Amino acid sequence: MKVVLLLVIAVATSVLGAGYFTDRLPLTAENGARSSDVVLANLLSGNTTPKTHVRSFIIGNSLVNHEAGRGSDLTSVPYWLARLARQDGNTYAMAGTYTLLREFKDKGPESTWSFNGVTSAWNSDGGVSFGDADFTSVQINPLNYVQWRGPTEPYWDDNGTPVGATLEVIDVVTAAEPGIEVLIYEGWADMGPFVSGDFPPSPRAFAKYHAYNLGEYHEWYLEYVRELQAARPDVDIRLIPVSSALSTLLTQSPLNQLSPTDLYEDDAPHGTPTKYFLASLVTYVGTYGKLPPTDFAVPPSVHPLVRSNYAEIVAALGG
């Protein structure tokens, strides 16, 4: 299946006092933009039949699960996905691990994550094989600081490539569970290069960060997925464009009023509960093939601006 993604690339060129970005960010041929309007395309384009039952295996990092360290269940995408699914009358079970992609072949699948209120899909120490866990999808989250080289080029230490490492993962999971979906989670980019001095970044630096997520960084993911699809044409491989979708939303009114510290806690950047909640909305679309429930009661742990505009955010994800 080919990735159909019509996100319009946006570059922030000015900052207004009312928020970190203008309501409408002018785009020019010089910065490679495709249109003068900042819009979200319909994330449902090219998706599969809507699902009601998901059993997900996640190979991720702290852009999916920041429970370790200063984080909590609130700073994990599965925590929010389970609650969205429950409100929508769907089921969600998961197992996950922090394993690096290029270490996966040697280590094999493991289940080391658990979250309050989230059904476990598999216990790797419980005597049930990965293939017998009946996973419907595997979600893969590459590192967010390797995009300075192409996805088919070697890692910084010349030990494999992102595409090569991912194909090894795909081969392991599809051998154990033929027909499993492969979902590529586009985590947000490393913010470190955009921060001069201490976190948080200046408004101008923050605008450049979002422009990178919408431009070169997103293009890396498109090439990455194309290479994976070409190498494994019989496997259903799709992109969940979390970073680019959120940077589009966060550079438009009203979410352009959110500051870096409303969304991130450092320049890695690990997110706040608000960031992971927003990421879960995009992930829900990519995982279930339909929009999140509009009647979900967003809790106080999420920024009030997001709570008060939740229905509009969901509508924006629908194009």
* Location of structure tokens 């384009």: 45
Q: How far apart are CA 67 and CA 73, in angstroms?
A: 6
Given this model, what pLDDT does residue 64 score?
98
Q: Say if residue 88's pLDDT is above 70.
A: yes
Kindly state which CATH superfamily the domain 29-317 is placed in: SGNH hydrolase (3.40.50.1110)
Given this model, what pLDDT does residue 262 score?
99
Burial class of residue 196 in the structure, from the number of CB atoms within 10 Å of its CB (0-12 exposed, 13-18 middle, 19+ buried):
exposed
Region 140-154: mean pLDDT is 97
Q: Say if residue 10's pLDDT is above 80.
A: no
| Residue 68, phi then psi, degrees to nearest 5 | -70, 160
Given this model, what pLDDT does residue 90 score?
98
pLDDT digits (tens, 9 = 90+) for 207-225: 999 999 999 999 999 999 9
DSSP string spanning 226-266? HHHHHH-TTS-EEEE-HHHHHHHHHTSTTGGG--HHHHBSS
Higher-confidence position of 283 and 68: 283
**Segment among 14-23, 139-148, 177-186, 251-260 with least mean pLDDT:** 14-23
Region 303-309: mean pLDDT is 98
Given this model, what pLDDT does residue 17 score?
29
Q: Say if residue 68's pLDDT is above 80.
A: no
Q: How far apart are CA 315 and CA 319, in angstroms?
A: 7
* Percent of the chain residues past pLDDT 90, beyond the cut: 82
C-alpha R_g of the chain: 19
Q: How far apart are CA 91 and CA 194, in angstroms?
A: 39
Q: How far apart are CA 185 and CA 279, in angstroms?
A: 10
For the chain, domain boundaries:
29-317
Region 150-160: mean pLDDT is 95
Given this model, what pLDDT does residue 19 score?
45
pLDDT digits (tens, 9 = 90+) for 38-66: 335 557 776 668 999 999 999 999 999 99
Given this model, what pLDDT does residue 319 score?
76
**Most confident residue range from 2-6, 13-17, 283-287:** 283-287
Given this model, what pLDDT does residue 29 score?
29
Q: Across all residues in the chain, what is the average pLDDT?
A: 88
DSSP string spanning 81-95? HHHHHHHTT-EEEEE
- Neighbouring residues of 207: CB distance < 8 A, sequence distance ≥ 6: 12, 13, 15, 20, 21, 251
Give the type of residue at 139: Q
Region 103-128: mean pLDDT is 95
67 falls in which pLDDT band (50, 70, 90)?
A: confident
Contact status, residue 286 vs residue 245, Cβ threshold 8 Å: no
Q: Say if residue 1's pLDDT is above 70.
A: no
Instruction: Output the pTM of the full model.
Output: 0.89
pLDDT digits (tens, 9 = 90+) for 243-261: 999 999 999 999 999 999 9
Q: How far apart are CA 283 and CA 240, in angstroms?
A: 6
* Nearest in space to 96 (alpha carbons), one of 141, 126, 160: 141
Region 163-177: mean pLDDT is 98
* Location of structure tokens 């370790």: 68
* Nearest in space to 98 (alpha carbons), one of 123, 120, 68: 68
Structure tokens at 198: 């201490």
Given this model, what pLDDT does residue 70 score?
65
